[in-house]
Structure 1
Amino acid sequence: MGEQLSSATWFQIAEWLFFALLTIALLALVAVTVRRYLLEREGGGVECYLRRGSGGRSPWRMGYGRYGAGELRWYRVFSLWPWPTAELSRRGLVIMGRRAPTPSDLTELTSDLVVIEVGWMAPDGSDPEEPIYEIAMAEGALTGFLSWLESMPPGDSWQP
């Protein structure tokens, strides 16, 4: 049938494959680093963890939140995706609770973080029944988040 490849040829193929994979890995690392630099260079952001729902049903995701006029845009740290993974609109956002990380949270978080549960007001103006997201951040970052939440750009009004 076909010609058999010598061990030297197999070694050359493996060597080229190794260097190709190493190059791809290094390029991905550089891309993640450049993306993070671009996110952080303009300021107005905070490192925080995010998870959907409450009660530990989903894992915590490490990320970077950037404050905008009307929303908090949350980006995953280890991602090449240029757009935010989640956008938390400030309009109607309600903090439903604040707590220290539970023992099960501490497998993914550190003990110096504060966990807040957030949701949005219903159209009738009532408070949400269940949190939509949990956000974990340092105490100083939480102070900045609360200031951002309570402030409002000129000319805007709170209309649900």
Structure 2
Amino acid sequence: MRELLLSLEVAGACALVVLLGLVLVLVRRRRLTGRLGTFDCSVRHPSSRRWAWGVARYETDRLDWYRTFSLSPRPSCSFARGALDVTRRRDADGQERFAVQPGAIVVECRHRGAPLELAMSSDAYTGFASWLESAPPGQNVNVA
């Protein structure tokens, strides 16, 4: 009987830790999306053929991207506006449709010469393209 109670206590403690982690992730996401200039954005690097869900936020000279399932207050990636070129945009196709948000547009880019894909809503793409085009003079910005 004592072993059963100990097992139940351990299982309860594990469930509490998982629940606390989930609450912290949700609170972090709420704080990120509550700020001006944020939008849902998935990222896929060529080194990994998997999409990662996240939230992007415009800064003056860069786009900061925060992974959805993380507790870190720092961005997972930052993309310099002057080094970001849009090469093409397209609708998500095949298996991609299940890995990104519904109705997402896949934006194929190059960041410092390396390929990069971002998936976002069409409204978010309009804002993204405007943000890139409004770069200060002297920054060569290419928007497809």
State the TM-score bracket (shorter-chain normalisation). 0.7 to 0.9
The equivalent residue for 1:98 is: 89
- Pairing 1:26–2:16 present: no
Return 5+ residue gaps in structure 1 as ranges.
1-7, 122-127
Higher helix share: 2
Provide the secondary structure at the position in 1 that maps to 2:117: strand
Rounded Cα–Cα distance in structure 2 between residues aligned with 1:152 and 1:52: 24
CA distance in 2, matches of 1:101, 1:159: 27
1:53 counterpart letter in structure 2: P
Uncovered stretches (5+) of structure 2, i.e. residues with no partner: none
TM-score norm. by structure 2 comes to 0.88
Higher-Rg member (1/2)? 1
State the secondary structure of the residue aligned to 2:82: coil
How many Å apart are 1:94 and its aligned residue?
0.8
* Aligned counterparts of 1:71 and 1:146: Cα–Cα separation in 2: 13
Q: Residue 99 of structure 1: CA displacement?
A: 1.1
**Taking every aligned residue pair, what percent have the same amino acid on both sides?**
33
What stretches of structure 1 move > 2 A for 4+ residues in a row? 156-160
Report which stretch shifted further, 37-46 or 142-151.
37-46
In the alignment, residue 69 of structure 1 is paired with which amino acid?
T
CA RMSD of aligned residues (A): 2.1
The match for 1:77 is 68
Q: CA deviation at 1:159?
A: 7.3
